[in-house]
Structure 1
């Protein structure tokens, strides 16, 4: 069974390897009208392959993953935090892992510095969901808020799930630490958080889109300026290989595997049909690109 100890042990071992992936601070960017969007690296995760690939048809899965030049025993997905600036608001979508999850992640402060920003400059923090690599960067080593001037926005279903005292005993042993860490961090902003709902324009040019399954209240966010748009998908599309080529397959990383697969299929259909850019937290090349229909599935085309 996968535990946080296994994840951390894998990460420490990977850091010693000469081919561990190099971080890119500002990996990609795009402009939508007056909106500037940049992806900033929080580093990368180091995961046992089964955490994502377990339970899939193994022979076909291995062929797909190998075609992308990746192994199946260990995966090192990048962590792309989306930064949006419109001249008034400076918005982060998720905050990375912080200092307590994996040594290969938690690098967002360095990325902000490279972009000429400090944590004080962030006006809004918008959460896609409450997993450690997206949420744990909320607090520093002293449990102080890293972004003291920000307003915090999250879907109410997601907030309620992670702050429910029953979650820690029902989420499963492998994710118990996820629940404990999320509750501690979300409780720190409980009096300052703003809840957002599906379809709501949460800030000018930003609309919330319910994309449940990876977590119960996972949300994506559509950024729009005139006729141009891009979707911040969080972990609704968690990788650039099997999630695109076989979106209907269940993934071990999703809490509700069937619902997450249904969400992936619908999201990819929407994004590809509209020829909309997408921004993925764990997608390569900074995470900005397109979903292109390919046979029975899709391909991620990095921009």
Structure 2
């Protein structure tokens, strides 16, 4: 990894506390069920009702779910609810596909696509991959969205912002960068995670900083300029955090990055960002997404990813797969790749209502 600033890296003991979290009714965050395993050292031990892990539905917004793989704990810290318009966001997907799979769509006929950050915990350290939509607005031609719950969700989980030591971005689109920076009482911009290194691929940073990318780009003054003061850039294959390596999978954006998380027992988890927006694209990787900046390149990246995703002992995390964020890719008897969600403990219900 190539550091461009002297911003120090911090490793501190996070104060891990238990239990049921309660938030305001306006955010929709309610006290929820048990943690993933209920070990004595678990930061979210079981509440009064110990529910078994389960998988959610594809056509609803994601719950705040957690999954432990070996020595790594993963938690989807949900920030936003999004419903994507099938024709506007995925124009390459034939209308017949949705008619044949009505259960893939919400009652309004859209694609449920939550946004947020993936909290990765190993030992005493905490990495957050992406930071949700925040107050950003989705182009109406693409769908509807409402965000801004990321920090409230973290607090409900008893995870202080100051305990995050690293923030890494899969890419710099607005629904992945929303809570990167905040305004203080004097209207000065400050990092939302004050003790964290902020990391982005060099191949992603350059085109956005030169303003060569306009589709999905975050605010210049609210995000790009403050990020320029603290950013650390890395290259393909760099270890950006203990046991986490960057795999550049471009096409959706110039330096779009998949993070490969290694866990004990030879297991690994691929966090593939927006290389896929719906499980249908895993089965049909030739169906690009509307916001992809280079279709030919993203299709090549998908071929690379599918080879890795179908390898043994490999799981994956998807930001926008409804309430099926954790899963694995399995090839059937015909060789067709399919998304199989895996059970993950629901700690909290989805924190945002669109209406």
Cα gap change, 1:285/1:55 in structure 2, threshold over 3 Å: closer, same or farther? closer
Partner of 1:164: 210
Residues 133-152 of structure 1: matches in 2 within 5 Å? 133-141=175-183, 142=187, 143-152=189-198
TM-score, scaled relative to structure 2:
0.70
Looking at structure 1, the residues matched to 83 and 260 of structure 2 have their Cα atoms a distance apart, in angstroms, of: 29
CA distance in 1, matches of 2:297, 2:290: 13
1:153 deviates by 0.8
Q: Does 1:302 align with 2:344?
A: no
> Once superposed, what is the RMSD of the aligned Cα atoms?
2.4
Aligned to 1:45: 82
Q: In 2, Cα distance between the equivalents of 1:71 and 1:263?
A: 32
- Which of the pair has more CA radius of gyration? 2
Distance in 1 (CA, whole Å) between partners of 2:177 and 2:106 is: 27
Deviating 4+ runs (over 4 angstroms):
20-23, 69-73
Partner residue, 1:11: none
- The structure richer in helix per residue is 1
- The CA distance in 2 between the partners of 1:228 and 1:69, in whole Å, is 32
Q: CA separation in 2, counterparts of 1:231 and 1:273?
A: 11
Equivalence for 1:97: 133
Offset at residue 86 of structure 1 (A): 1.3
How far apart are 1:29 and its partner, in Å?
A: 1.6
Give the match's secondary structure for 2:331: strand
Distance in 1, matches of 2:340 and 2:116, equals: 16
Please report how far the alpha carbon of residue 195 of structure 1 lies from its aligned counterpart in structure 2 after TM superposition: 0.8
Corresponding residue of 1:207: 245
User: Partner residue of 1:268?
Assistant: 306
Superposed displacement of residue 133, structure 1: 0.7
1:219 maps to what in 2?
Answer: 257
Matched residue SS, 2:178 = helix
1:124 to 151, 162, 166: 166
Seen in structure 2, the aligned counterparts of structure 1 residues 72 and 99 have a Cα distance that, compared at 3 Å, is closer
Distance 1:238 1:296 in 2: 21
| Alpha-carbon distance in 2 for matches of 1:296, 1:53 | 24
Residue deviations 1:163-218 (CA, integer Å, cap 9, x gap): 11343xxx4xxx3xx33515741320213211111111112101000111111100
Moved more, 199-208 or 247-256: 247-256
Alignment match, 1:230: 269
Structure 1 gaps, min length 5: 1-19
- Confirm or deny: 8 A CA contact 1:28 1:287 kept in the other structure: no
* Contact persistence 2:180–2:191 (CA under 8 A): yes
- Confirm or deny: 8 A CA contact 2:60 2:106 kept in the other structure: no
Q: Give me the whole-angstrom Cα distance separating, in 2, the residues matched to 1:228 and 1:51.
A: 37
State the 1:22 CA deviation. Answer: 5.6
Question: Compared with structure 1, are the counterparts of its residues 160 and 87 closer, same or farther at alpha carbon in structure 2 (3 Å cutoff)?
Answer: same
Q: How many residues align?
A: 272
Question: What is the Cα deviation at residue 32 of structure 1?
Answer: 2.5
Cα deviation, residue 51, structure 1: 3.0
TM-score, L = length of structure 1: 0.81
Shift of 1:159: 0.8
Larger relative contact order, structure 1 or 2 (CA cutoff 8 Å, min sep 6): 2
Query: Are 2:262 and 2:269, in contact at CA under 8 Å, matched by a contact in 1?
Result: yes
